[in-house]
Amino acid sequence: MIRFLQTPGRFQKVLLVGFLSIVCIMMVVTLVPGGFLNDIGGRGVGANSVAKVDGQDVTNQEVEQVARAMMQQRRIPAQFKPYIMPQAVDAVVMQKVCLREAKRLGLEATDDDIRNEMQHGALAQVLYPNGNFIGTDQYRDFVSNQFNLSVPQFEQELRNELTLRKVRSVITAGVSVSNAEVHDAFVKLKTKIRFDYAVLSVAELEKEVSVSDSELQAFYEKNRSRFVDSIPEQRKVKYVLVESARLPNPAKVSDDELQSYYRQHSAEYRVPESVKVRHILIKLPLPGPDGKVDAKQAEAARAKAQDVLNQIRNGGDFDALAKKYSDDGATAKNGGYVGQLVQGSGTAPDIEKVAFGLAKGQCSDVIPTSYGYEIIRVDDKVSAHARSFNEVRAEIEPIVADQKNQKIAEQLARTVENQAKSSGLEQAAANNGLKVEQTDYITRNESQGIGSFPQFANAVFAMKPNAAPASIALPRAVAIAQVTEVKPPATPTFEQVKDRLAVELKQQKAQGLLAQKGQELSDKARASHNLREAAKAVGATVKTSDLVDRDGQVPDIGQVGSAVPQAFEMKPGEINQAANLGQKVVVIALTEKQTPSEAEFETLKDRVKASLLERKRSEAEEIFILALRDRLEREGRIIMDKKKMEALSGVKE
């Protein structure tokens, strides 16, 4: 699988971005009832795998790597990893499914495709600087240092990515949008409304609701089955925690160990060539209705850029000319300063190629690009070099110490466990400078402190009471634990759940009252054509919105286009049927409606068309994936192992 997802850097992103686009599509699967994780089997799934696709294992390592990539992309904290794992499994399964489908359709990337990508794609400036291959040895070193892959592994990952691109191209090739669709989408996007509205809420109506003891007793009897064993099993646990960061005798690190680490990881401390750049951009005009740029205007832009370059070469101040002429507003105010470009970043290949060919202080010729004409100047240049041992010593020392401490912690945990089995947990802790901790009663899913780790809870609830202490691996720690007390599941008495029942019953009665009063409010308002009078009759307050579009937020309602989309179909003076918002009901009287002009449409139609086309392409991808999934489910070509999924995620379904 994509092993370089573990350490995404500037080069890794070249392939990572492409793969994550597929990961995002696969997320559709996890949101649809009856997804892959419901196809429970497990027959024939390998020992280190959680699933099988057409006889090909989906390994734990693959899933771990994709889960990390998804968490990095969405900035999800590490503690939520167990909830990401099922989505990662689906993503890996669907990648394999798509690759198999590509093979069936004859869409696999060829060797020529790979060569073309290397020569002209995002890595071209690194692998083929100035059009010349860097050489077999440098290529091997680059792939190893940047991706932690061998050349065959790297080329296979690249082949997979190019294959997936072909699949996406085939899926979306026939997608188009008509002018009528673009116009309708524009009108929906830009129409604005203002309205009066009255809101009734469950929270307010609960204040009007009361419940008697007899009602609660009847409610309890009616729902008694819900409460059978609803008090979950509880356990008390005593444990010794061995943490690598809090050892009685932490490791000391020698210079030889630091030097050894530095030599083994020297690739991590290589600094690539970089330049600090300023630029002046003269933009090309926007394409016309036919999709083409006006030739005369394009020539005028080129001539303007050449004139600016002539001024620079005649002694003109680059910073001042950038402020005066550059069409890049973000950098023009700073004299055109772009910042640092790193060799091989792939961010702007055309500019990068020129920039690294210039000397410090040198200015380029006019550079034609797809968006305009550029002139760049190199302010400073840093040659590729390796950071010295002394420069990075302070970074290396805690890493090496941590590695040693983890080994010490593992050995110490084994010692404590062995001693605890023969002389008891307390004596074993005392022997090793540690102490025994005792939890309160904890449940499997509702616990605090150390019990909040799924690994800890799952392990202690699998233990027998007062059995010999056993080790439980935790993040950066090991717990040696023993169950001391167990409370079995229990059914609560009426008195124990009375308060909870009162809340539920009041909410239930208020919900019924909400529907009744909401309908009454709507009927009165529509009959009298007067929302304010109707609202007063049912005890609601009328408010007035601002002029809002579909994305606009209105107090008590939220996003208008999502909560009450029907409001945009109304005419001024109309009052809608009560709209149920879950815990609220809203009735709207439209007072104003503004539709966009045709002149505005002409200005924005290209942007709207691009957005609509992208949305339809995403929908096409989703339909393809779901249909493919359904077919493979019916054919039995996807096998999932539920028990291994539970073990991988740490969450029991």
- Work out the average pLDDT over 551-577: 94
Is residue 17 scored above 60 in pLDDT? no
- CA–CA dist 551, 557 (Å, integer): 12
- CA–CA dist 53, 95 (Å, integer): 10
Secondary structure of residue 189 in the 3-state scheme: helix
- Work out the average pLDDT over 599-611: 90
Is residue 6 scored above 80 in pLDDT? no
- Work out the average pLDDT over 269-280: 90
Higher pLDDT, 8 or 243: 243
Tokens of 119: 């020569």
Amino acid at 552: G
Residue 290 confidence (pLDDT)? 58
Query: Residues 545, 197: contact at Cβ < 8 Å?
Result: yes
- CA–CA dist 456, 392 (Å, integer): 37
Query: Residues 376, 277: contact at Cβ < 8 Å?
Result: yes
Query: Long-range contacts for 451-456 (Cβ within 8 Å, ≥24 apart)?
Result: 451/237, 454/82, 454/650, 454/651, 455/650, 456/481
Residue 305 confidence (pLDDT)? 93
Residue 462 confidence (pLDDT)? 92
Among the listed ranges 145-149, 171-175, 203-207, 275-279, which one has the minimum average pLDDT value? 145-149
113: left (phi over 0), alpha (psi -120 to 50) or beta: alpha
List, for residues 216-263, the tens digit of each pLDDT value: 999 999 998 989 999 999 999 999 999 998 898 899 999 999 999 999
Residue 405 confidence (pLDDT)? 92
Amino acid at 344: G
Domains in the chain, ordered, with CATH? 3-174+616-649 (1.10.4030), 192-228+494-594 (no CATH), 234-248+400-487 (3.10.50), 273-383 (3.10.50.40)
- With cut-offs at 50, 70 and 90, classify the pLDDT of residue 30: very low
Q: Angle at Cα 277 formed by Cα 271 and Cα 280, nearest 5°?
A: 160
- Work out the average pLDDT over 95-99: 87
Which residues touch 176 (CB under 8 Å, ≥6 apart)?
613
Higher pLDDT, 370 or 412: 412
- With cut-offs at 50, 70 and 90, classify the pLDDT of residue 29: very low
Residue 139 confidence (pLDDT)? 85
> What are the two backbone dihedrals, phi and then psi, of residue 487, each rounded to the nearest 5 degrees?
-110, 115
Query: Residues 188, 597: contact at Cβ < 8 Å?
Result: no
Instruction: Specify burial of residue 239 (Cβ count, 10 A radius: 0-12, 13-18, 19+).
Output: buried
Query: Residues 138, 384: contact at Cβ < 8 Å?
Result: no
Higher pLDDT, 236 or 77: 236
Is residue 5 scored above 60 in pLDDT? no
- Work out the average pLDDT over 410-423: 94
Question: Residue 97 CA to chain centroid, in angstroms?
Answer: 22
Residue 267 confidence (pLDDT)? 84
List, for residues 158-192, the tens digit of each pLDDT value: 998 899 888 888 888 888 899 999 999 999 999 99
Query: Residues 616, 177: contact at Cβ < 8 Å?
Result: yes
Mean pLDDT of the chain: 85
Higher pLDDT, 16 or 359: 359
Residue 105 confidence (pLDDT)? 87
Is residue 27 scored above 50 in pLDDT? no
Which of the listed ranges 15-24, 535-544, 610-619 does the model predict with the highest average pLDDT? 535-544
Residue 120 confidence (pLDDT)? 84
Query: Long-range contacts for 117-123 (Cβ within 8 Å, ≥24 apart)?
Result: 117/158, 117/162, 118/158, 121/14, 122/14, 122/346, 122/349, 123/11, 123/14, 123/344, 123/346
- With cut-offs at 50, 70 and 90, classify the pLDDT of residue 98: confident
Q: How many Cα neighbours within 13 Å face the side chain of 429?
A: 16
Is residue 34 scored above 60 in pLDDT? no
- CA–CA dist 292, 363 (Å, integer): 31
Q: In what order do the strands lie in the sheet with 56-59?
A: 56-59, 49-53, 638-640
Query: Residues 194, 552: contact at Cβ < 8 Å?
Result: no
Higher pLDDT, 106 or 148: 106
What is the DSSP code string of 309-375?
A: HHHHHTT--HHHHHHHH-S-HHHHTTTTEEEEEETT--SSHHHHHHHTTSPTT-B---EE-SSEEEE
List, for residues 199-214, the tens digit of each pLDDT value: 999 999 999 899 999 9
- Work out the average pLDDT over 300-318: 94
